[in-house]
Amino acid sequence: MDILSQATSEIFRNYAFVAGGCFGLYLAWLRVTAANKQAAAQLKQTDLARRDHVSELFNRAVGQLKDKKLEVRLGAILTPEQICKDFPDLSGPVIRLLTTYLKENTVKYGDKRPPVDVQVITKILREFKK
């Protein structure tokens, strides 16, 4: 009888271990899932922050395109180019902006070489509109 009750208690103990282990695994799974969700939310947050930054850069570039200084205009052209590379989904507005700049550019340079800003824009078109 003693042997039987001892065996029974051992079986119960083993079941309890297994149940405890399963519960532990469940808790670990919950924790990992929560951590994954948190990481995904953080990534989304970072992406949104970056997009905000990019929008700000884009707006600033728009404002600088009409600047009298060539170097400022060049910066205003090269910044959107980088945006195109980093955020391909934003390349549409960038290309539209640059082609509008080409259309509105009132500098008639005759038969001389095109100004540097025009050359840079056409280089960007060659790169992004293949």
Residues that bind other proteins (CB under 8 A): 84-89, 91-92, 95-96, 99-100, 102-103, 105, 107-114, 118-119, 122-123, 125-130
Please state the closest distance from residue 129 (CB atom) to other proteins, in A.
5
Please state the closest distance from residue 127 (CB atom) to other proteins, in A.
7
Please state the closest distance from residue 113 (CB atom) to other proteins, in A.
6
Taking the least distance from each CB to other proteins, the nearer of 79 and 128 is 128
| SS3 assignment for the chain | CHHHHHHHHHHHHHHHHHHHHHHHHHHHHHHHHHHHHHHHHHHHHHHHHHHHHHHHHHHHHHHHCCCCCHHHHHHHHHHHHHHHHHCHHHHHHHHHHHHHHHHHCCCCCCCCCCCHHHHHHHHHHHHHCC
Taking the least distance from each CB to other proteins, the nearer of 72 and 95 is 95
- Chain centroid to CA 98: how far? 22
Please state the closest distance from residue 104 (CB atom) to other proteins, in A.
9
The residue behind tokens 């994954």 is 36
Taking the least distance from each CB to other proteins, the nearer of 75 and 114 is 114
Taking the least distance from each CB to other proteins, the nearer of 61 and 97 is 97
